[in-house]
Structure 1
């Protein structure tokens, strides 16, 4: 595995967890424990980072423009982690009510 790819994944996971924690703190009624927030944030961070990188630069950091490279990984990671954590929180909340 290339060290650049590994660095991309680490950045996406860490920023995804940060985004997930932020959403988890903002949505108090979701009643999520730390483990689902961390897992959803990390997985969402990877997904969001990969999607943003492919949309903006086609996977090539040289053509990614302003959002290329590390900034794209951070923005995609935080966004993806936050979105997936919000979805998981909503599902868990609806399952709890049923």
Structure 2
């Protein structure tokens, strides 16, 4: 179960990031449920993208990871939050462009 902890952190912070971005960028907001779903997906993708680029800790990608340190928690929170907010904003911009 411990190997899934970084992913869980990324998903939760992604949902928070999506809702935060939705509240700050009202014209791109997808509504609470839409922001949350976009944030969840963006959080998971953003955190994993950091690991693939070598910027994240990689604890989620290794089977030998037995504990999480503060660095991996911070990278999971940052990747999840930024990824969630960014994907929500991208989807909101596409939605607005299609409505015009």
**TM-score over 0.5 for the alignment?**
yes
Change (3 A) 1:60 1:11: closer
- Residue of structure 2 in register with 1:59 after alignment: 58
Shift of 1:96: 1.9
> Is 1:94 matched up with 2:97?
yes
Change (3 A) 1:57 1:43: closer
Shift of 1:35: 2.0
Aligned pairs, how many?
92
The structure richer in helix per residue is 1
Change (3 A) 1:23 1:58: closer
- 1:6-49 CA distance string (max 9 Å, x none): 21111001100111111101111125222221111001001111
- Residue of structure 1 in register with 2:23 after alignment: 25
Shift of 1:57: 5.0
Which consecutive residues of structure 1, in runs of 5 or more, have no partner in the other structure?
Answer: none
CA–CA distance in 2 between the matches of 1:40 and 1:16? 8
CA–CA distance in 2 between the matches of 1:57 and 1:24? 25
Change (3 A) 1:12 1:57: closer
RMSD: 2.2
Which consecutive residues of structure 2, in runs of 5 or more, have no partner in the other structure?
Answer: none
CA–CA distance in 1 between the matches of 2:85 and 2:94? 14
